[in-house]
Amino acid sequence: MLTKMMAISHMIGNTPLIKLEHEHINLFCKLEYNNLMGSVKVRPAFYILQEAIKRGEITQETTVIESSSGNFAIALATLCKRIGIKFIPVIDPNINPVYENLLRAFSHEVVKVTDRDETGGFLLTRIQTVNRLLNETKSSFWTNQYGNPDSARAHYFGLGAEIADSFETLDYAFIGVSSGGTITGISQRLKERYPNIKIIAVDTVGSVIFGQEPQKRYIPGIGSSMRPDILKGALIDEVVHVSEEDTVNACYQLYAEHGIFAGGSSGTSYWAIKNYFKDQKHVVKPNVVFLCPDGGMPYVNTVYNQEWVQWLHQQKHSFVGN
């Protein structure tokens, strides 16, 4: 199994780091959508499976089960297919239809929950369903992206190391948070290399990760209905919340200003950076990095669909009253 996985490892990591024009800062973007299956999430998927295989927790008979609204599931499905083991993703209605079709094509079985949890999201219902499936399935393995330390380690040794190898000095990293694996691993690596760096966690309004009131959210990939365990190891200096409408606007700006066609969470970080530095003028421009965790194509029916954007606007501004 490990040999089969290693045969595709050259398609994971070593993603391009590009410099973007900005008036006040030296802005760099790591194009994580250049990874196998188009997202950053293949890094933790690969590492978690690899380590579990090494420990003997995954064998050829194992069924891998995971709660994912998209990118992590697509990555796991691809890797499990490669090594010839079963994969069952637990998804929810926020998944984009293209991803759902892909998962139905690539996975052993897809389980879709429909009930919202008490926070208004689907995560807690998905986790309950994962636990039920783990109990019902013989020889099952939960990759557990919200709590598995290997998810953070993947980024410590992978993405974090690649960024640390790319800069002599680095002043800020803006990292979108969902399961928390990315920011936990990267922050540990970057704080070691650049003790004065500021790690800015970027979250979406309505996500409860950093103690905000829950609200309905419509853009997958960023935010969460619970605070993930894995974040206990994260070294975060500041948290910035971005609305979903600003996320959409920033996706269009990334495209118009830099030719970057990226997914929702890339826009969230881009907006956070523009807002953070809008009034700051530095004698020496700071070096700032952010990620484009996935590309724009999976969002053609949402973020990049004008009708959907109108609909989002209505959801955010409609209220029930007399």
Ligand X SMILES: Cc1ncc(COP(=O)(O)O)c(C=O)c1O
* Residue ranges that bind ligand X, judged by CB under 6 A: 39, 41, 71-72, 176-182, 221-222, 263, 265, 293-294
C-beta of 145: minimal distance to ligand X in Å?
6
Q: Whose Cβ is closer to ligand X: residue 188's or residue 265's?
A: 265
**Minimum distance, C-beta of residue 25 to ligand X, in the bound complex (Å):** 21
| Nearest residue to ligand X, by Cβ distance, number only | 221
Min. distance of Cβ 151 from ligand X in angstroms?
A: 7
Closest CA to 289 of 31, 110, 12, 1: 31
Token pair recorded at residue 287: 């070096």
Nearer to ligand X, 37 or 312 (CB): 37
User: 222, 204 in Cβ contact below 8 A?
Assistant: yes
State which residue, 265 or 287, has the beta carbon closest to ligand X.
265
Q: Which C-beta is closer to ligand X: that of 149 or that of 176?
A: 176
Q: Pick the closest to residue 114 from 92, 130, 88, 90 (CA basis).
A: 92
Q: Which is closer to ligand X, CB of 141 or CB of 146?
A: 146
Q: How far is the CB of 56 from ligand X (least distance, A)?
A: 26
Residue type, 70: G
Q: How far is the CB of 223 from ligand X (least distance, A)?
A: 9
Query: Distance between CA 95 and CA 84 in Å, rounded?
Result: 25
Q: In what order do the strands lie in the sheet with 238-242?
A: 17-20, 26-31, 287-292, 172-176, 198-204, 238-242
Q: Which residue's CB is nearer to ligand X, number 1 or number 184?
A: 184
Is the alpha carbon torsion for 157, 181, 147, 76 positive or negative? Answer: negative
Q: Which is nearer to ligand X, 1 or 45 (CB)?
A: 45
Q: How far is CA 69 from the centre of its chain?
A: 10
CB of 95 to ligand X, least distance (A): 11
Q: H helices within 194-279, ranges in order?
A: 244-258, 264-277
Rg of the chain over Cα atoms, rounded to whole angstroms, equals: 19
- Closest separation in Å from C-beta 202 to ligand X: 9
Q: What is the dihedral of CA 299, 305, 310, 316, to 10 degrees?
A: 0
Minimum Å gap between C-beta 204 and ligand X is 10
Closer to ligand X by Cβ: residue 1 or 179 = 179
Instruction: Return the C-alpha torsion angle 143, 210, 205, 44, nearest 10.
Output: -20
Distance separating alpha carbons of residues 207 and 204, to the nearest angstrom: 6
Number of C-beta neighbours around residue 90 at 10 A: 23
Residue holding tokens 């691993």? 185
